[in-house]
Amino acid sequence: MNISEIKRRGMVMLGCGKMGSAMLAGWLHGALSPSEVWVVDPHPSDWLKGLDGLHLNADLPETPALIVVAVKPQMMDAALPDIGRFGGGDTVILSVAAGVTLARYEAVFGAGTPIVRAMPNTPSQVGRGITALVANAPGQAALAVSAELMNAVGQSVMLEDESQMDAVTGVSGSGPAYVFHMIETLAAAGEAQGLSPDLAMALAKATVGGAGQLAEDSASDPAQLRKDVTSPNGTTQAGLEVLMAELPDLMTRTVKAAADRSRELGA
């Protein structure tokens, strides 16, 4: 399958909330046109309603090239039977639902159906996402076009085995929320030292955003970047001595909790 095939036969999106809308916006920016997309969503946004030519809650094509499953994992049992009829052919199923395994999809669509699991994250909304991909045996041929689609909203990586997906969920899938909370707490700590709330928040946002950009763009690894900004016996060292005493264990437990929950959702 390739983009031309999707354009010819159509793409169906089952669910189109914030993540689905972010992906769709990226795809409509160049790869696809609204007339080549069918969206099934009981509560469509005003943005979806305003897309001229989009097939919104309309009859689906007989043999779409791709079905993107973007509903919440808790809604999967109710949603999947409606599209189970598309299994057994060459329609590719691309899932962005956390914790829902390839085996669970194969139980609905059949083991011969090409299925790709993807774990994007919320920075996809600003074109800075990262998505991990893995497929069943029939879906291996669809990994390249799946990566091409996900690269429209950031970058993508291929996993060696599906068992890695729960860890990916704990690191990059849930990770933006950890960073947002770090911004909250960093700003609150600035307030405690006498800064106004607005100034503390502006400093925290810019610091985390800038440091993340520097880490991604630099040839040095984050450990070296940390050392570069840490003068012996200086202010940064004083702060790091407190942070490094607790953060490694805290982050390990945080990621494990999210990964464990992902496993529970897929059970």
> Which pair of structure tokens corresponds to residue 100?
């829902």
142 is in an annotated binding site: no
The residue among 85, 86, 94 whose CA lies nearest residue 119 is 94
14 is in an annotated binding site: yes
19 is in an annotated binding site: yes
Contact 201, 207 (CB under 8 A): no
71 is in an annotated binding site: yes
Contact 33, 53 (CB under 8 A): yes
145 is in an annotated binding site: no
Helices (H), the chain: 3-9, 18-28, 46-49, 76-79, 102-109, 143-150, 165-168, 175-192, 197-217, 222-228, 235-266
Which strands sit side by side in the sheet containing 115-119, from one edge to the other? 55-56, 37-40, 11-14, 66-69, 92-95, 115-119, 129-135, 154-158
Task: Give the 3-state secondary structure of residue 104.
Answer: helix
57 is in an annotated binding site: yes
187 is in an annotated binding site: no
Phi/psi zone of residue 134: left (φ > 0), alpha (ψ -120 to 50 degrees), beta? beta
Phi/psi zone of residue 15: left (φ > 0), alpha (ψ -120 to 50 degrees), beta? left
Partner residues linked to 132 by β-bridges: 119, 157
245 is in an annotated binding site: no
Binding residues: 14-19, 57, 70-73
Binding residues for NADP(+): 14-19, 70-73
Binding residues for NADPH: 57
